[in-house]
Structure 1
Amino acid sequence: MPIKAILTDIEGTTSAVSFVFDVLFPFAQQNLPHYVRAHASEPAVAAQLEAVRADAEEPQADTERVIAILLEWIAQDRKATPLKALQGMVWAEGYKTGELKGHVYPDAVMALQQWHEAGFALYVYSSGSIQAQQLIFGYSQAGDLTPLFSGYFDTTSGGKREAQSYRNIAEAIGLPANEVVFLSDIVQELDAAQEAGMRTCGVAREGGKLANHFTIRSFAEISAETFYL
């Protein structure tokens, strides 16, 4: 059965994990307090601050307390929806001012362009918010890559280590799972996609083998013809 769609992870796959942890997270941590203070009265931001209060079970928390909670969540690497939304807003400002440029490996850029030209539908599935995904590719060091993609998925589709998430994505794409290949650097994610019926491709940029999955070190090791097998 030929592959018709390619679903890719970001961190460790198309982009360096270090970009998220060494660039994006510190940028958000440094700039989030000022951003929240400056925009707290705007509806989109105010809604997320209310969500923080609800999640923290502190309905009376003032703005400074909410900022403190957010910084605690960043330190804990907590996957809280309002935190991700506010981080996305801070990053969007950083990308638009040119302070941030999304990291995408050159081999990934070339392969994504080739796959798009070959007629494959390209999708992203990451634990980062859809907005964060679009910013990384939209303001990448290689320019705006968003025209290459047909859609984006985050954890609103389900956890990345749960097979049902990949069934949900295949249904949303409108293809049988066995016509979609998923690329990731995490074995448990690949296992879940495989359980859902997807083809898989492990990415081990430092070398090695992701157990039970075809594994590459670089996107350059895959040709478009690979996906017709």
Structure 2
Amino acid sequence: MNKPIGNTGNTASQLTPQLKQDILNGIFKADEKLVMSHLKQRYGVGIGPLREALSQLVVEKLVIVENQRGFRVHPISRHEMLDLYQTRSYIEARCIVQAIQRGSVDWEADVLAAMHRMRKAKNLINQGFTGLLQWETKHQNFHATIASGCGSQSLLQIRQSLYERTARYRLLWLRNSMASNDYFNKIHSEHQQLVDCVLSRDTVRAEKLMFAHLQAPPQTLDKKLDHVVTTCHAKKPSA
């Protein structure tokens, strides 16, 4: 029997982020049935905390509940992907505009540091799924650092929600595209252009660049989402 990854006696508040991260990282694939006995063993918890955590993830649209049939991971679709990324592109573009208008010199320094950490982590993309996730953490920290200068908690909360809802599509994009050095260099060039806009305080160019940059995943996956999902699920990451 596998040792539970959580602490025995986990409450729902402790379990929810663990379960959410496993869904976002593809441990549980889209539309997969979530079997209570397996979840109890994996997380070392009882039915009560599991149901409470799953109900919270239903609210966050990561899990669906089926009458008399339990819980299932929320399916993915081309329509949802395009809708989420279109909305997220608008929000990220708004964040960088406000950040450039309001951000301090310290914020600029934080953006430069995040860019440096991401650039130094390039070798991680060639180290399998775990390395890809480690690079993605630095990648998202870069974008979060840019957005942090906007000065609006409401805007940042909306951004975070959209980031989480696009995470599974982004994971498919990463596994399908980022192993290519040419593609990685293209994305890195876009990141450098965003940094240049931050330093020159060019809101007009930054807004256009950020919107276009956020369209890379849906443009790559569009019209071949089903094939990419099938291929990646065949190589489902181990827990």
With normalisation by structure 1, the TM-score equals 0.31
* Between structures 1 and 2, the one with greater strand share: 1
Give the structure with the higher percent helix: 2
Question: TM-score scaled by structure 2?
Answer: 0.30
